[in-house]
Structure 1
Amino acid sequence: MSVPSNMQAVRWHPPSYDIRVESIPIPEIQHPDDAIVKVKLAALCGSDLHVYRGHGGVDKVHTCGHEFIGEVVSLGSSYRTNTQGRPKLYSTLKVGDKVVSPFTVNCGECHVCRLGYTARCPEGALFGSPALEGGQAQYVRVPKAGGTLFNLSNPNTWSTALSEQEKEKALTGLADSSLLMLADILPTGVFAALQALNHPKVQPILTGRPWPLCFSPEISTEGNEISFTPEDRILTIAIIGLGPVGICAAVSLLDALATRKIPFRIVAIDLLEARREKMKAVYDAIDASGKGSGEFEVLSADDAKVLVDDWTGGVGCTAVLEVVGHPSALTSAYNLVRDFGAIVSVGVHGEPPLPYTGRQVYNKNVSFDFGRCPARAMFPLAFDLLVKRQDVFGGVGQAASLIDRIVSFKEATENYRAFDKGEVGKVIFSPWDC
């Protein structure tokens, strides 16, 4: 039987709103560190919409998508037994292994990767961009695959808090549509929650010690005339944007607060009623162990501001997670956050300048944390949460499912349009369904 030379792929054409399914050559090994992956499922992400709308500063036709799961079908010459001084996958990855890829390539060997900042590897590239063809295709080439991929056929190649038995059971029991979330949206949601909870501006509330003694536990606070009240220990957080990443951030944040038994008040915000209803359904589906005992509200932007003022006596949120990627969302975050608060932004922002003046920044002592999630570094934490929260990450098409539908490439153009209009949530493509 002859091997086909072409494949089907979802391609974007400039200047905007032009998605076509086309036949293009199957990628081949170009470098010894490459792998070729046969894609089983690929997802449509909110970040794809920036290019789709013509806002990404892109003018080159390319294959879309940066979330995919599949099977290794070809490996470069770097993959051999007992490779020394390189990431483990160069010694263990085999043709036939099931893999999931983070949305960026990273070498896994440089100073930046060793520190865990894998999203900014100097050799990195974003799938689904002019720099690197994407995963909404039947096959995809993965550069630096030994430092990029996660081998779901060999769980001994990555760390987890789960036992070996729990990990192997999860990998055989979890649906590929669920595991696909590890490519971007779940690590990014976990990253946003982690950035907020570990921010220096949040530590006085978590430790019960005033600034800056919260960083010096060896120094007594007995000299303080006024002690913390129970109200001072309540963490108040807003989440702006309830697309798939925003929901993942909310689930991650709730799980962390419940595990650590931290008192909290969270308001989840979106302009679209459909997204607010999805967030409510997800929250209702989470069992008590993942909710904690705090307050959780889902509201429009205007109603949220009223509620935060009521909760805090007009002081504002301890931290705000911005998961939209638009100047108006940053303005809302600034209006909601307290003096000496923190804004954590994982939304993908374009060229427009930030909507703050120097005076605004100075007057509030606000800290800003922007940027791309280091998805590969976040994988172990995201995997453990995925296993724990199958009540919301395990299904497809139900009210509380993060994934709304799985469709063929023939429906790609329509689903890009519907996703752009907020008519559908998370969409997954099955490349081989004709």
Structure 2
Amino acid sequence: MSSNFSSSGQQKAARWHPPSYDIRVETIPIPEIQHPDDVIVKVKLAALCGSDLHIYRGTGGVDKLHTCGHEFIGEVVAVGSSYGKEAAGRPALYSKLKVGDKVVSPFTSNCGECHVCRLGYTARCPKGALFGSPALEGGQAQYVRVPTAGGTLYNLSDSSTWSSALPKEVKEQALTGLSDSSLLMLADILPTGVFAATQAINHPKVAPVITGRPWPLCFNEAGTIDTGNEVSFTDEDKILTVAIVGLGPVGVCAAISLLDTLATRNIPFRIVAIDPLESRREKMKVVYDTLSTSLERVVARKEKVKDCTSGVGATAVLEVVGNNSALTLSYELVRAFGVIVSVGVHGDPPFPLVGRQLYNKNVSLDFGRCPARAMFPPAFDLLVKRQDIFGTVGQPANLIDRIVSLDDAAESYRAFDKGEVGKTIFDPWM
């Protein structure tokens, strides 16, 4: 424990009060170590995320007072007794994490040791919990307790504890040069955007377009099986069309990830991005203009999908909203033998599609929460590469609109809910 930290003090925190639309900044006790695997983090920055709005609006199935927020970056100020000694067979942080280390957390805790975590499905760890929920107090506060922190946190002070495709010197330079506001996006929105794009690009039903070979020959290496009387692909058959429904921060991150991946591969493609809010469409246009040189503009009305595919529909649709109207639109846009990848947080309303609809199109559905900790390495690499978008705050092409005091939490939630502002970051010490 650091000499200037005391868990017996008080802290400022943004708290949600049921039933809805009630955010209050209150003084509450600083969290304490409750388990040997716990860590206490002094929060430097915390973010307001679109999925926070489900609870804010009273539609998240939550009815208990709690501290908000699941995106935070900060400094370790206290560790449990599991840390600082050789921990054979356990995640590396139990041996290496120490007071003073800079860390970023995924939006859920996870043990890093069970079968689910070993497979990389960290968002569904049986021991895990969502920050900013009744199950686990959130990070929109001055301090936060992180359970099973050795399996949860990423140590930004010791990059040897996580993988990267970047050369070691590039990774080290990035960690010293990237702003905390930029690194904070690794908590949720950037890994989730990369996750959505990765699922779409690697889905079996996308393989014929990616490989230029029909089903099921698309799963064999070219030349390993003699072709029969298959009709040759046309140029149109080889164009990958992806629709993105929802241009909030995660939707923009998904578009950036798709563009970055496809630009490095010899695959012709179209991306059609859809959102009812003009401000979000304009943000996507500016982001696209910053990224692109000669690619087709990605922002369009929904009819563009039918127009540019001769009525066939999109190969894949990314649903990044989390409501039934977005799912219904996704079904309307997707082609037969297409895939809908949904990373939006859905509530209680019944699923809007019926089995007959899915059967009639041979549609595949991928649903659910991003395993943010598992997705951290590719998200970090993209963050480093695209600092023109992720590096600063408040410019037209930047994903983060503003950094404000935690005291402004109630107004920030209201404005974000109304679409008046974009991605907002809280400084709990401002």
| TM-score, L = length of structure 2 | 0.97
Give the structure 1 partner of residue 184 of structure 2: 180
Give the structure 1 partner of residue 256 of structure 2: 251
Deviation at residue 297 of structure 1 after TM alignment: 2.5
Give the structure 2 partner of residue 41 of structure 1: 45
Give the structure 2 partner of residue 295 of structure 1: 296
Give the structure 1 partner of residue 302 of structure 2: 304
Aligned: 1:361 with 2:361: no
Cα offsets for 1:93-129 (capped at 9, x unmatched): 0000000000000000000000000000000000000
Q: Number of aligned residue pairs: give it.
A: 425
After superposition, residues 1-20 of structure 1 pair within 5 angstroms as 3=6, 5-20=9-24
Partner SS for 1:147? helix
Give the structure 1 partner of residue 394 of structure 2: 397
Partner SS for 1:297? coil
The RMSD of aligned alpha carbons is 1.2
Partner SS for 1:165? helix
Aligned: 1:242 with 2:247: yes
The one-letter code sitting in structure 1 at the alignment partner of 2:358 is V
- 44, 51, 54: which one pairs with 2:58? 54
- Contact 2:132–2:139 (CA<8 Å) still a contact in 1? yes
Deviation at residue 221 of structure 1 after TM alignment: 4.9
CA distance in 2, matches of 1:287, 1:337: 25
- Give structure 1 stretches of 5+ with no counterpart: none
Give the structure 2 partner of residue 379 of structure 1: 376
Q: Following TM superposition, where does structure 1 have runs of at least 4 consecutive aligned residues deviating by more than 2 angstroms?
A: 1-4, 216-222, 293-297
Q: Higher mean Cα deviation, 352-361 or 386-395? A: 352-361
After superposition, residues 297-376 of structure 1 pair within 5 angstroms as 297-299=298-300, 303-305=301-303, 307-376=304-373
Percentage of identical aligned residues: 76
- 49, 54, 69: which one pairs with 2:73? 69
Cα offsets for 1:69-106 (capped at 9, x unmatched): 00000000000232111000000000000000000000
Give the structure 2 partner of residue 213 of structure 1: 217
User: Could you say if the C-alpha distance between residues 409 and 312 of structure 1 is closer, same or farther in structure 2, counting changes exceeding 3 Å?
Assistant: same
CA distance in 1, matches of 2:131, 2:16: 13
Deviation at residue 296 of structure 1 after TM alignment: 3.0
CA distance in 2, matches of 1:81, 1:393: 36
The one-letter code sitting in structure 1 at the alignment partner of 2:317 is V
The one-letter code sitting in structure 2 at the alignment partner of 1:235 is L
Deviation at residue 410 of structure 1 after TM alignment: 1.4
- Contact 2:71–2:187 (CA<8 Å) still a contact in 1? yes
Cα offsets for 1:389-426 (capped at 9, x unmatched): 00100110011110000000111100000000000000
- Contact 1:159–1:380 (CA<8 Å) still a contact in 2? yes
Partner SS for 1:9? strand
The one-letter code sitting in structure 2 at the alignment partner of 1:356 is L
The one-letter code sitting in structure 1 at the alignment partner of 2:129 is A
Aligned: 1:158 with 2:156: no
- Contact 1:263–1:294 (CA<8 Å) still a contact in 2? no
Give the structure 1 partner of residue 236 of structure 2: 231
Deviation at residue 354 of structure 1 after TM alignment: 1.2
Partner SS for 1:29? coil
- 265, 289, 305: which one pairs with 1:260? 265
Deviation at residue 133 of structure 1 after TM alignment: 0.1
Deviation at residue 57 of structure 1 after TM alignment: 1.2
Partner SS for 1:37? strand
The one-letter code sitting in structure 2 at the alignment partner of 1:229 is T
- Contact 1:12–1:61 (CA<8 Å) still a contact in 2? yes
Partner SS for 2:172? helix
Give the structure 2 partner of residue 191 of structure 1: 195
Aligned: 1:277 with 2:282: yes
Give the structure 2 partner of residue 388 of structure 1: 385
Partner SS for 1:410? helix
The one-letter code sitting in structure 1 at the alignment partner of 2:424 is V
Partner SS for 2:317? strand
CA distance in 2, matches of 1:425, 1:261: 34
- Contact 1:206–1:233 (CA<8 Å) still a contact in 2? yes
CA distance in 2, matches of 1:224, 1:152: 55
Give the structure 1 partner of residue 125 of structure 2: 121
Partner SS for 1:359? helix
The one-letter code sitting in structure 1 at the alignment partner of 2:375 is M
Deviation at residue 311 of structure 1 after TM alignment: 1.0
CA distance in 2, matches of 1:231, 1:430: 49
Partner SS for 1:126? coil
Aligned: 1:428 with 2:425: yes
CA distance in 2, matches of 1:297, 1:178: 24
Partner SS for 1:347? coil
Partner SS for 2:297? strand
User: Could you say if the C-alpha distance between residues 394 and 368 of structure 1 is closer, same or farther in structure 2, counting changes exceeding 3 Å?
Assistant: same
Deviation at residue 294 of structure 1 after TM alignment: 4.0
Aligned: 1:86 with 2:83: no
The one-letter code sitting in structure 2 at the alignment partner of 1:234 is I
CA distance in 2, matches of 1:310, 1:45: 33
